[in-house]
Chain A
Amino acid sequence: MPSFDPGLLLHGQYHDWLVNGFVLSVELAAMALVLGLPLALAIAVMRLAPVRALRATGLAYVEGIRNIPLLAHLLFWYFGAPELLPEPVKAWLYSGNVEVASALVALTLYVAAYMAEDIRSGVRSVSPGQLDAARALGFGYLGAMRLVVLPQAVRATVPALISQALNLWKDTSVATVIGVGEMMYQAARVESASFRSAEAFAFCTTAYLCVSLTITALASWMQRRYPVRPA
């Protein structure tokens, strides 16, 4: 096997492919995070609501999503679900970047399910007296959550959420199966064009590790700066 050639990764066509892949991976993770967090918040609130039907819906969502692998979600949202749309909507969707759109839907729903559980644990760590006191003062359930409980829950939840963000970053790699041109896809492409798998995979691994390191460092910093106070 020819020897390792780092020059391949620093300039030239293959370098461009890999860098584009990296950028798309980051964009995918960031967008899924931004869209997933509000959804997660809503699901968590639903799961804690005093209304039975809402709690059941929240539970169904979380259990349904978490018990199915991300790969199956991606395949469903790319090959399965869009077929159910009416023709004009389908045509409009397919003329755009349907691969990224499907990946985004799958990733957002997936990460929201996990984050909802973390938020729920964080909320449950806040003493129930807080919610009762807020309601006794006349706040509705939503108001009490928004103004009293959630702000206190945030401190306990942030470490878990950062951990989920790390998982999300790693999960973007699976989108390669539906043709999304993110980093793993580009690495495979470089490999089949040049037979140089070592360089391509080394680039990918380093890139994934750098971002993971950043996220983990952020988590440590947060833990030191804003330690979780026991209830």
Chain B
Amino acid sequence: MIELIQTYWLYFLVGQYPQGPLGGLALTVLLAAVALVLSMPAGLLLGLARVSRVAAIRWPVTAFVFIVRGTPLLMVVFWAYFFLPSLTGHKTDQFSTMLMALVVFDGVYLAEILRAGIRAIPAGQFLAARSLGMTPWQVMRSVVLPQALRHMLPSLVNQFVATIKATSLGYIIGLNEVSFIAAQINTQVFTHATEVYLLLGITYFALCFGLSRIAFWIERRLSQRTPAWQAAEAVPVHAS
């Protein structure tokens, strides 16, 4: 096992870089991070569209969310890989395909997280800001969202963990992320299949468990620092 690690650790961590595109664990984390960041505006838009009073916006978006949540992520990846290019005229490689699929997938789940986070801010905040003369957009931007995002941090980190796990599907379209690299290494050293995949599991575990511990720690810190009045007055901004 030690020999395995010694020979292949660089390939496992960064793939072919710099003699080729970035791969391995570095690619996994990068892909997940970029996908999460890009999916936040998408999630916000989707969340707002879902509660919109305009039926022409609400219905298609609800149908879209339902379809995305009802099909496997792998299906979304295949559609993006084989079809999106011919529809939009844009060329896509494995990284962009996975990125698009993850942004769509994350966006849909983030819409729910964002909605819950915004609803948890007491109505008083919103009303007070409006009575000071702020427009609804300014209220969102300067008062509600900053508070909501702080509280959503643990959920966001958990979504980051889920995204990291989802990047493993890149294996199937030949993306050089860490599972694919592990399989490549495995075929170089035929008889150590168990060790290679055990190491892969341990790597994911270390990464994901570590991140979820951080989320837990953030959550604890936040609940210690919440002022009493805010914790007591948790009336939702919008009913339902």
Chain A residues engaging chain B, CB cutoff 8 angstroms: 1, 63-64, 66-73, 75-76, 79-81, 83-84, 166, 170-174, 176-177, 184, 187-188, 191, 197-198, 201, 204-205, 208-209, 212-213, 216
A76 touches B86 (CB 8 A): no
B168 touches A71 (CB 8 A): yes
Chain B: interface residue total (CB-CB under 8 A): 38
Cβ distance B160 to chain A, nearest Cβ, rounded Å: 13
Which chain B positions have C-beta within 8 A of A197? 82-83
Chain B residues engaging chain A, CB cutoff 8 angstroms: 67, 69-75, 78-79, 82-83, 86, 161, 164-166, 168-169, 171-172, 179, 182-183, 186, 193-194, 196-198, 200-201, 204-205, 207-209, 212
A79 touches B197 (CB 8 A): yes
A212 touches B70 (CB 8 A): yes
Report whether over half of chain A's contact residues are helix, strand or loop; otherwise say mixed. helix
Sample of 19 A–B contacts (CB below 8 Å): A67-B205, A71-B169, A72-B179, A72-B197, A72-B201, A72-B204, A75-B197, A76-B194, A79-B193, A80-B194, A80-B196, A170-B70, A174-B169, A177-B171, A184-B75, A188-B78, A197-B82, A204-B75, A212-B70
Most buried by B among A63, A68, A76, A188: A68
Cβ distance A130 to chain B, nearest Cβ, rounded Å: 27
Once A1-B86, A75-B179 are accepted as A-B contacts, the answer to whether A184 and B204 lie under 8 Å apart by CB is: no
A69 touches B72 (CB 8 A): no
Which chain B positions have C-beta within 8 A of A1? 86
Which chain A positions have C-beta within 8 A of B75? 173, 184, 201, 204-205, 208
Cβ distance A167 to chain B, nearest Cβ, rounded Å: 9
Q: Which of A66, A76, A172, A201 contacts B82 (CB 8 A)?
A: A201
Which chain B positions have C-beta within 8 A of A75? 179, 182-183, 197, 200
B71 touches A170 (CB 8 A): yes
Closest to B167 in A: A69
Cβ distance A142 to chain B, nearest Cβ, rounded Å: 30
Give complex CA distance A75, B184 in Å: 12
Which chain A positions have C-beta within 8 A of B194? 76, 80-81, 83-84
Give complex CA distance A64, B212 in Å: 12
B74 touches A64 (CB 8 A): no
Closest to B86 in A: A1
Q: Which of B69, B72, B182 contacts A173 (CB 8 A)?
A: B72
Give complex CA distance A193, B207 in Å: 40
B72 touches A170 (CB 8 A): yes
Most buried by B among A63, A76, A201: A76
Which chain A positions have C-beta within 8 A of B74? 173-174, 176, 184
Closest to B202 in A: A68
Most buried by B among A72, A201, A209: A72
Give complex CA distance A96, B145 in Å: 56
Cβ distance B96 to chain A, nearest Cβ, rounded Å: 19
Which chain A positions have C-beta within 8 A of B182? 72, 75
